[in-house]
Amino acid sequence: MIDPGFNSVLALALEQAINTALKLDPGTRARLRKLGKSLFHFSCSAPETNFYFEIHAFDPPDRATHVSVASYSEKTVTTKISASLLDTLLFLATGKLEGSTNLVGSGISILGDSAKLMELQGILQDLDIDWEQALQEVSTPGGEIAGVLSHQAVNAIKMFLAWFNKSRTKFHDNLATYLQEELRLLPTQMEFNNFYENLAELRSDVERADARLSALLQKLKAH
Amino acid sequence: MKKDQTTHFGYEEVKVEEKADRVAGVFHSVAAKYDLMNDLMSGGVHRVWKRFTIEVSAVRAGQSVLDIAGGTGDLTAKFSRIVGSEGRVVLADINDSMLKVGRDKLIDLGVAGNVHYSLADAQHLPFADNSFDCVTIAFGLRNVTDKDLALASMLRVLKPGGRLLVLEFSKPQSSLLEKIYDQYSFKVLPLMGKLVANDADSYKYLAESIRMHPDQETLKTMMQNVGFVECAYYNMTGGIVALHKGIKA
């Protein structure tokens, strides 16, 4: 088990990161407010850590909706998710829980209200941080020049990210084609399906032969 | 306890009735720079230890909390926010200098309304039986003359089902860490105390008192002996600090 103090530091870091992101995305904050007061427990393995994400939903103008993250809690949990630490961090960053569509064999288990978790997943996937505002906050006080600069900087970052995503997809496709068609290291999907069908046919033939053999042996024994 | 009995003050043997005054002297001396020294000595990690203590306390809005040896009020400030206007937090300390520093700091931070202050000895707590949902003592138990008496007093003021949390320096779990920690405690700490607070002796006492404090298992047994149930402890930073938890049945 990880040092409780270190677990607490990780929780604090996550809390600060989440709340900073929430400040820059009022849309997500509003959706979290609709999700209502809930507590998600991520029981992580490798290394063994615990994170309790509590959503504090407030109606404005009282206080801004925020998330508190703790390493220990005795409150009633809405949903408990057992996953690896890496899966948990990926979930928080992208809203995607590996194997959440097919939990069998994924090492992830979900207990409690899974509908709320799916709702949270949707909210995290739609997270849209206003980087322009964040940069503007960093660059102020500087007035309009800072505003223009931050706008240009965000445009450049957006262009880079778009290029990066496109290149990544292209590279993935090209690599698959190269490995399958040029080097012939990997089978294509059609080849794999054919092989699997042949294998299944062979298996049923063997089973039929085995059944006939058993029946013949029984007849021989009877005579 | 008889008058001619002795106890330890760091590595020094002193008469039982003398210890409280000697400890008071140390804390009168360090009170003004207590927070700064805490941050310097622990590299800020004491905030993490306290944060985990707050989490394990499971305190809710409307509850009553007693923060013994609360010093400069780090835990009290956090508890005050959690219990809200319906709850109350009592910051108790035997040392009036520490209590004054804590009170001024909390008022400056705007922490008021549900916080009360009490100049109190942990061995003879001036509160009614069964009056608190949670009692905490952070880095204070090792300075108490009769620890069993103090633990019994804490049990008395807790409500049934209430919990005691003792956050205290303890025994490192690895021998290598223990050696490094010893060098740090006896070489670096007093030097830091001399440079920052101009008081090497007080910080030498702090290091010695940590070594004389019961280890994790001994303290757990002491808590069980006075009547706490479900006693458990959490080692933090390799056992340099341990958080003990006990419930009043």
Could you report the predicted ipTM of this complex, rounded to two decimals? 0.77
Q: Residues B31-81: pLDDT tens digits?
A: 667 777 777 777 788 889 999 999 999 999 999 999 999 888 999 999 999
Both structure tokens of B180: 């490094």
- The helix, strand and coil proportions of chain A, stated in percent and rounded to the nearest 5, come to 60, 15, 25
pLDDT at B216: 95
Stretch B109-124: mean pLDDT: 93
Query: Are B51 and A8 contacting, i.e. CB atoms less than 8 angstroms apart?
Result: yes
Of A52-56, A130-134, A136-140, A219-223, which gets the smallest average pLDDT?
A136-140
Q: With contacts defined as CB-CB under 8 Å, which chain B residues touch A13?
A: none
Query: In terms of Cα–Cα distance, which of B222, B211, B175 is closest to B11?
Result: B211
User: Length of chain A in residues, anyone?
Assistant: 223
CB within 8 Å: A72 and B235: no
CB within 8 Å: B56 and A72: yes
Residue in the structure block whose two tokens are 């100049």? B119
B241 near A CB under 8 A: yes
**pLDDT tier at B4, thresholds 50, 70, 90:** low
Question: What average pLDDT does the structure give for chain A?
Answer: 82
pLDDT at B125: 96
**pLDDT tier at B242, thresholds 50, 70, 90:** very high
What global pTM score does this model have? 0.74
Inform me whether the pLDDT recorded for A61 exceeds 50. no
Both structure tokens of A193: 């399906």
Q: With contacts defined as CB-CB under 8 Å, which chain B residues touch A72?
A: 52, 55-56
pLDDT at A106: 61
Q: How many beta carbons lie within 10 A of that of residue A158, not counting itself?
A: 12
Inform me whether the pLDDT recorded for A137 exceeds 60. yes
Burial class (CB in 10 A: 0-12, 13-18, 19+), B179: exposed
Stretch A37-56: mean pLDDT: 89
Residue in the structure block whose two tokens are 């010695």? B208
pLDDT at A95: 67
pLDDT at B218: 96
**pLDDT tier at B155, thresholds 50, 70, 90:** very high
B15 near A CB under 8 A: no
Stretch A165-189: mean pLDDT: 86
B51 near A CB under 8 A: yes
pLDDT at B228: 97
Q: Residues A162-171: pLDDT tens digits?
A: 898 899 889 9
Of A115-129, B5-19, B67-81, which gets the smallest average pLDDT?
B5-19
Grouping H, G, I as helix, E, B as strand and the rest as coil, residue A134 is helix
**pLDDT tier at A98, thresholds 50, 70, 90:** low
Strands B12-15 and A79-84: unpaired
Inform me whether the pLDDT recorded for A62 exceeds 50. no
Percent share of chain B, pLDDT over 70: 94
pLDDT at A139: 59
Distance from CA of A69 to the nearest CA of B (A): 10
Q: Which of residues 144-163 of A touch B (CB under 8 A)?
A: none
Higher pLDDT, A145 or B240: B240
Q: Residues B207-241: pLDDT tens digits?
A: 888 888 899 999 999 999 999 999 999 999 999 99
C-alpha–C-alpha distance, residues A95 and A117, integer Å: 10
pLDDT at A138: 63
pLDDT at B90: 97
A127: Cβ contacts below 8 Å, ≥ 6 apart? A21, A25, A28, A95
C-alpha–C-alpha distance, residues A205 and B206, integer Å: 81
**DSSP secondary structure code for residue A145 in this structure:** H
CB within 8 Å: B45 and A5: yes
Inform me whether the pLDDT recorded for A202 exceeds 60. yes
Of the candidates B45, B49, B52, which has its C-beta nearest A71's C-beta?
Answer: B52
B39: Cβ contacts below 8 Å, ≥ 6 apart? B46
B243 near A CB under 8 A: yes
Stretch A188-208: mean pLDDT: 92
Beta bridge partners of B64: B88
Most A CBs within 10 A among B45, B55, B81, B174, hence the mutation to make, goes to B55
pLDDT at B2: 47
C-alpha distances out from residue B218 to B151, B176, B232, B234, Å:
13, 22, 12, 14
Residue in the structure block whose two tokens are 């458990």? B232
**Which range scores top for mean pLDDT: A2-11, A18-27, A126-135, A202-211?**
A202-211
pLDDT at B3: 47
A24 near B CB under 8 A: no
